[in-house]
Structure 1
Amino acid sequence: MTDDAAAFAACVGAPAVFVAMPDEAQPFLDAADARSASPQLVGGADVHALELDGRPVLLVRTGIGLVNAASALGTVLELFEPSVVVSAGSAGGLRADVNVGDLVVGTRFRYTDADATAFGYAPGQVPGMPASYAASETLMAAASTLIAAEGHALWRGEMLSGGSFVTAENVGATRETFPGALSTDMETTALAQVCHARGREFLALRSISDLCGPAADQQFHLEIDTVAAISAAAVRQLLRGLPREH
């Protein structure tokens, strides 16, 4: 067995961390005690086998978007049977009091642009599916000790995902429809839906890189590598707190 084959074999049943972009993957690659020499192409995604803080971890870079995320996760579940799935990286700040650099721990997940309300479904609900997807209670408990980066806040609550960017021009309608939502991105809820369908434990830990509708006195943007490091540090702390069977 080659070194890479052994590294990927060790990741069967290990936690899997999903990110969309190279900058979001880099903090995990930099922190790894060991890593596969080359990624595998799995479900259209680049998959790295890591040893991170003394345990095997699968790092999956899906590319941007709901379909990319769901496609990658479906194949990763078949090939590696991860014990838990974590969505990491950056997000847009949605609620008015959220600021760049803050960390969001997702408790529930909904789609911004799923709308079957004419047929009696809740905003963000896909017909035949739950109105929202809940984070794993086990992973939420493990995340209870997380703290924010210095100078920033930690939030726990609802996260949104969709196929369209939420901008200053349309953020008002999104806030009106989802008044409690903290953040928005383009992958997390798709990952949550697949995990719900497959009975897998799921959590999202994302840091705010930009504000969808900033107030006049708010900094509205941080570089992706800065917020990716905040998210990655939180994910590493979470994984260190999980028992080895996870």
Structure 2
Amino acid sequence: MAMSRHASKLSAVHRGTAFEQRSLQLLQTHFSMSLRRVGGKSDGGIDLIGWWWLPFATESDPIHRPGALPDSNGLLRRRIRVLAQCKAEKKKFTPKYVREMEGVWHLQARSSPSLAAHPSSPTPSLPSPLTYEPIVPDAYPIVALLLSESPFSQSTALHAYRSTVPFLLIHLPCSSSSSNSSAAIMSASDIELGTVCPNPTLTELVKPLAFCWERNPSASPSMKTDVHAGGRPGLWWQGRKLGSWAPEFPNTDTT
């Protein structure tokens, strides 16, 4: 009996690790994020941490601000701090996890108030245990990401929608190829997406960024009957498709 419980625990850990890897791959390939896995008992409720690289909203933005980098097309991009939590559970994602993430976000905001509200004001780096890489002496907004292998319940989506914390909810369903092996590593094109839901607080923070669902023109008719298989979300900026770009993240995985 004890061995059975131990095997079940190992299986859950394996499944969770594989889901974190899938989530990281998706965000880096399609969402212009440079992230790395945290993991461990002292992760502070965070599975992935890093940056979201988006263009400046207007030419009057402080483009001289430290931390901004030009992408491969010469477009200058600012960075937004990303704190992500990944849940690979069979039951529906509940509001409990939204409340937990709100707590993590507010803890960081209290430690460095301007980090959340005033991105142009000087502030210290994120406090331990969330200081995983050097940060230039400047302030950055913080975004909370919740990624789930199971669907979000209606109450969960409503709670996140009403939150003053900038939330991005992503449903990343388990595909048939990954169900055969919880540790399967998939290519970015194989990763299916269920839903992507930014709340109004996030929408205001990253405007004029828009999340648009892009249908796959090469998908077969049978695929198009499946809400998950007919396309994927894309990022659009001022009416144009925004190519995904992020500088390579240092290979400092602590797991």
Q: TM-score, normalised by structure 1?
A: 0.29
Max Rg structure: 2
Ranked by relative contact order (alpha carbons within 8 Å, sequence separation 6 or more), the top structure is 1
* Richer in strand (by share): 1
